[in-house]
Amino acid sequence: MQTANTGEGCFYMVMRRVLVFLLAAAILISISGCAAKGDTIEPAGAQLNTVPVDTNPGGPKLLLAENGKSKYVIVRGKDAGRSEVFAANELAKYINLSTGAELAVVTDDLPETEREIIVGKTKRAQDSFVDRASLGTDGFMIKAADEKLIIAGGEIRGTLYGVYDFLEDFLGCRFFTATLETVPQINSLTVNTTTEVTEKPLINFRDTLWKSTFTADIRGKYRLNGELMPGFNGSEPLNTNFDTMQLFCGTIFQYVGQDYFDTHPEYFAMNEKGERTTDQACFSSEGLYNTMLELVRKRFSENPELTCFYITPNDNPNYCQCPQCAALDEQEGSHSASTLNFVNRIAGALKDEFPGKTINMLAYMYTRTPPKTINPADNVVIQIAAEDSYYMKPYKDSSPRLVSDLEGWSAKNSNLLVWDYTTNHGHFNILYPNVRVAVDNVKWFYENGATGIFLQGNGYDTGGEFGELRAFIAAKIL
């Protein structure tokens, strides 16, 4: 039996016609731009010249490689960690691919030579130039000193990022995707003797949920240092070349589930009928507090590598309406009050026992609006989600509720981690013209104190609407 067209069916029919029109227009444009008879057509690759322009062509240089040969060696620390070992090998690999010169990678226990590229922390005297305390884990410096070149920074990731920066800005390499990169072929690789570059990322935690970023190699080249959801959709480990910041975002119900409801229903939310349900937790429950305190303590003790623990509600709007939660939420003007009060108590109880570790709370749905007077503890991270916003224009110009919520948390000097949505999660293949918007939004997040940003995209396959291009841009703007 024939059925009537639904609104969704009509939408897809219109979209198909639009796409056919765009394809036809592209063909016409390409035909009109074809060379006339006798013209020379360059290969596409020849039109992409990424070799940097020397801003001081007459100045003195370090000649690192010429005519496929080099007088330099790459020096790394004998006891270097895996990130700096990998960095030294990557530098040798790409210099060879670009110039044909093979630079040996040696360790700092060998006698010093006149011409060295020093990668990472070593016992060489030039290591004194590197201020690791100010560079942190991800900052780096690139500096010429006499006949030596230093590429070094934070031992966890900074040195590796310095190597990739050198490859991009001094050789002209471009790392577009895990399977697409350009390495210019150059005869002479030189560096000005005045070279001194220092960089440190403004955003401490940087992550995207794009399938094309789910390889360890591209993560370093993209300078993505975080994993909000490690192993998402069966992805491979991303921390093989360097340590990543793994947060393991989740909810309280990963630890307090149905088995607790059978024995302790008071741990769970009360609905408008006065019934306990498993929709959410009751954050006024003293029993739940004591149980969670011991669970968090046990998890931190048994997993010292963990940096945080998430105490967040379930992904639904059914907040607890018990008298205690309702009274505090009403007093504070937001349903986030009872949740944050609970989180602060856990954080305060564990602060001295586990210094440097945080309790993370998701400001999402009914917990997104900050309470009037309750402020997050110093070791609490507020992870605010940009749901229910207008995604085609910068948030600060189009989404007043999000602006009010985010700036409200910022005014409380919160440790902010932003979860943003950068594609159409209902239809990954549909045109979604908001690429430029993401740039403005990231700037706005940073201006309001965000120290971590997660840009959620298509984490299920590399297709979708310009998925790989969007992932590349997302990484660059972070």
Structural domain count of the chain: 2
Segment 247-272, tens digit of pLDDT: 988 888 889 988 899 999 999 999 99
Same domain, 161 and 235: no
Domain of 143 in residue numbering reads as 61-199
Domain boundary, last residue among 181, 199, 217: 199
Same domain, 339 and 212: yes
In a domain, 27, yes or no: no
Q: Are strands 415-421 and 450-456 parallel, antiparallel or unpaired?
A: parallel
The yes-or-no verdict on residue 4 having pLDDT over 70 is no
Helices 467-477 + 435-447 axis angle, to 10: 20
Domain boundary, last residue among 199, 227, 259: 199
In a domain, 276, yes or no: yes
Segment 303-336, tens digit of pLDDT: 999 999 999 989 999 999 999 999 999 999 999 9
- In which band, very low, low, confident or very high, does the pLDDT at 47 lie, cut at 50, 70 and 90? low
Cβ density class 35-63: b for 16+ within 10 Å, e for less: eeeeeeeeeeeeeeeeeeeeeeeeeebbe
Same domain, 168 and 300: no
Mean pLDDT for the stretch of residues 218-245: 94
Residue 175 sits in a domain whose CATH number is 3.30.379.10
* Distance, CA of 356 to CA of 350 (rounded, Å): 10
> What tokens were used for 462?
């590399």
Domain boundary, last residue among 180, 199, 218: 199
Same domain, 181 and 215: no
In a domain, 393, yes or no: yes
Same domain, 139 and 271: no
> What tokens were used for 294?
């011991």
Segment 141-159, tens digit of pLDDT: 999 999 999 999 999 999 9
In a domain, 4, yes or no: no
pLDDT averaged over the chain?
Answer: 90
> What tokens were used for 303?
């997993």
Mean pLDDT for the stretch of residues 288-305: 96
Q: What is the 3-state secondary structure (H, E, C) of the chain?
A: CCCCCCHHHHHHHHHHHHHHHHHHHHHHHHHHCCCCCCCCCCCHHHHCCCCCCCCCCCCCEEEEEECCECCCEEEECCCCCHHHHHHHHHHHHHHHHHHCCCCCEEECCCCCCCCEEEECCCCCHHHHHCCHHHHCCCCEEEEEECCEEEEEECCCCHHHHHHHHHHHHHHCCEECCCCCEECCCCCEEEEECCCEEEECCCCCEEEEECHHHCCHHHHHHHCCCEECCCCHHHCCCCCCCCCCEECCCCCHHHCCCHHHHHHCHHHEEECCCCCEEEEEECCCCHHHHHHHHHHHHHHHHHCCCCCEEECCCCCCCCCCCCHHHHHHHHHHCCCHHHHHHHHHHHHHHHCCCCCCCEEEEEECHHHCCCCCCCCCCCCEEEEEECCCCCCCCCHHHHCHHHHHHHHHHHHCCCEEEEEEECCCCCCCCCCCCCHHHHHHHHHHHHHCCEEEEEEECCCCCCCCCCHHHHHHHHHHHC
The yes-or-no verdict on residue 244 having pLDDT over 70 is yes
Mean pLDDT for the stretch of residues 39-66: 73
Residue 295 sits in a domain whose CATH number is 3.20.20.80
Global model pTM greater than 0.85: yes
What is the pLDDT at residue 41?
Answer: 35
Same domain, 101 and 135: yes
What is the pLDDT at residue 306?
Answer: 93
> What tokens were used for 449?
């104190």
The yes-or-no verdict on residue 22 having pLDDT over 60 is no
Same domain, 211 and 110: no
What is the pLDDT at residue 53?
Answer: 82
Same domain, 268 and 309: yes
In a domain, 314, yes or no: yes
What is the pLDDT at residue 23?
Answer: 41
In a domain, 465, yes or no: yes
In a domain, 346, yes or no: yes
What is the pLDDT at residue 249?
Answer: 87
User: Which phi and psi angles does 362 have, rounded to 5°?
Assistant: -90, 120
Same domain, 430 and 391: yes
Compute the radius of gyration of the chain from its Cα atoms: 27
Same domain, 324 and 361: yes
For residue 120, give Cα distances in angstroms to 40, 163, 311. 47, 10, 38
In a domain, 22, yes or no: no
Same domain, 72 and 193: yes
Same domain, 315 and 191: no
